[in-house]
Amino acid sequence: MPRIFMSNAFFALGKGRRRAPLRFRQGSQNILVSSPMGLATIWDADILIWATSTMIAAQRCGAPIPTVLQATRYEILGFPGRDVSGGYYERLPDGLERLSRTNVVISASEWTDEQTGAPWIEDWRISDGFVQIRLAAWLREAVLTPRAVLALDPAYFTLTSGLERLLYLIARRHAGRQKDGWIFEVTHLYRKTGTTQPLTAFVAFLRRLIQSGGLPGYRLELSDRNWPERVRIRPVADVPVDNAVDNLVDDFGKTRLSPRGSTPIALENHRQGIVRQ
């Protein structure tokens, strides 16, 4: 996933419809994410991760970078390693539509009412059993920028909480492989998530997360049991943090498996699954 989208909440964290926009500052940029029909969710973002993996695979193999991506519903939905059922098939168009109707504004100046932003997906359609997706030009550029993409542990896709997923992305982006990890002020981390729950509930969530074993490849430590001011996120020793979704491929015609031997780590196969325009 592109690093730029791993520091703050660019997606709704719940599966219900969120109409309220997300507004935050990231570095020197002001970010506004909005939609007239409900924001794209962090589960919808799995489609973008699949698209990113496909483009990076083509780039690494020296193949032409596809403008329009094409695959079967099964290939896209099965990419995260989940069991694909009829319900997932039926919900895929809704996810694609949310991605096409959610607009992102990244600006050095304050937002204005005239700024409409750009969607994640410019166009999509399902025809003859295939899904065709055209990513927005700005997103395509972000994906193909050198060293802009970080690999994700396949265990990310097993996380059932949207907040837990975002915390993993933040950990992967900031703590990375650093032995001492990264320290956040709890209130700062809270604001980065864009969660609508109160701060006390967020702290309780962090405590439960620690008790359950932390995040894939990372552990969390709170500075105080009564009311923590800081949280440290550090990689677990001897556990690779980029046991990867988009790691290196043998060639453009193979799908590699994770070291765990079960989860596909990249949809980097299917030459016939790319439409070049």
- Mean pLDDT, rounded, of the chain: 83
pLDDT tens string 53-94: 999 999 989 998 889 999 999 999 999 887 777 788 888 999
Cα-based angle 186, 189, 191 (whole degrees, multiple of 5): 110
Q: Distance (Å, rounded) from C-alpha 66 to C-alpha 187?
A: 41
pLDDT over 60 at 252, yes or no: no
Q: Are residues 122 and 159 in the same domain?
A: no
Domain limits for position 69: 1-150+246-277
Please tell me the total count of domains within the chain.
2
CA distance 126 to 196: 34
Query: What are the pLDDT digits (tens) for 93-105?
Result: 999 999 999 999 9
Report DSSP state, residue 21.
P
- Say if residue 252 is in the same domain as residue 275: yes
Q: Quick one: pLDDT at residue 2?
A: 87
Note whether 55 and 179 are same-domain residues.
no
86 & 219 share domain: no
pTM of the entire structure?
0.84
Cβ within 8 Å of residue 211, ≥6 positions away: none
Do residues 111 and 10 share a domain?
yes
pLDDT at 254 (0 to 100): 33
What pLDDT sits at residue 245?
42
pLDDT at res. 65: 87
| 112 and 130 together in one domain | yes
Instruction: Give me the sheet containing 121-127, strands edge to edge.
Output: 121-127, 130-135, 68-72, 274-275
Q: What tokens appear for 221 in the block?
A: 């430590």
* Residue 166 shares a structural domain with residue 220: yes
Among candidate residues 220, 200, 201, 217, the one with its CA nearest the CA of residue 209: 220
Q: Is the pLDDT of residue 208 over 80?
A: yes
In this structure, the answer to whether residues 103 and 219 fall within a common structural domain is no
Same-domain pairing of 229 and 272: no
C-beta separation of 218 from 233 below 8 A: yes
Q: Is residue 255 over pLDDT 60?
A: no
Joined tokens for residue 223? 């500075």
Residue 169: burial class (beta carbons within 10 Å; 0-12, 13-18, 19+): buried
**127 plus 166 within the same structural domain:** no
pLDDT score recorded for residue 239: 58
For residues 131 and 246, the model is more confident at 131
Q: What confidence tens digit (pLDDT) does each residue in 169-183 have?
A: 999 999 999 999 999
Instruction: Specify the CATH number for the domain of residue 187.
Output: 1.10.10
Calculate helix-pair angle for 86-101, 45-60, nearest 10 degrees.
80
Mean pLDDT of 144-165: 93
Higher-scoring residue by pLDDT: 269, 155: 155
Place of tokens 């074993």: 213
Are residue 177 and residue 209 in the same domain, yes or no?
yes
Q: Are residues 268 and 219 in the same domain?
A: no
Band of pLDDT at residue 112, cut at 50, 70 and 90: low
Q: What is the pLDDT of residues 22-31, one digit of tens each?
A: 999 888 889 9
